[in-house]
Amino acid sequence: MTTERIVRMVAGIFVMVSLALGYWVHHGWFCFTAFVGLNLFQSSFTGFCPLEIILKKSGVPSAGAGCGCSK
């Protein structure tokens, strides 16, 4: 898997879990959902994503790194 796919997967999991927690546990968890959305929004403009930086330092290849993925 590439960093881009992992970032999308983790963001989707965070959104789904925080929505469930907000519905069944406490409505304050919806703030976490908003935080994830804001982070995705700002990263589309700035290109800054903390998880992507961590994944690259861990050695996970990006989509353009010759991993055999067609782009």
Q: pLDDT digit string (tens) for 39-61? A: 999 999 999 999 999 999 999 99
User: 33 falls in which pLDDT band (50, 70, 90)?
Assistant: very high
Name every residue whose Cβ is closer than 8 Å to that of residue 41 and which is 6 or more positions away in sequence: none
> Quick check: helix, strand or coil at residue 69?
coil
User: Above 90 in pLDDT, residue 69?
Assistant: no
Q: What is the pLDDT of residue 61?
A: 94
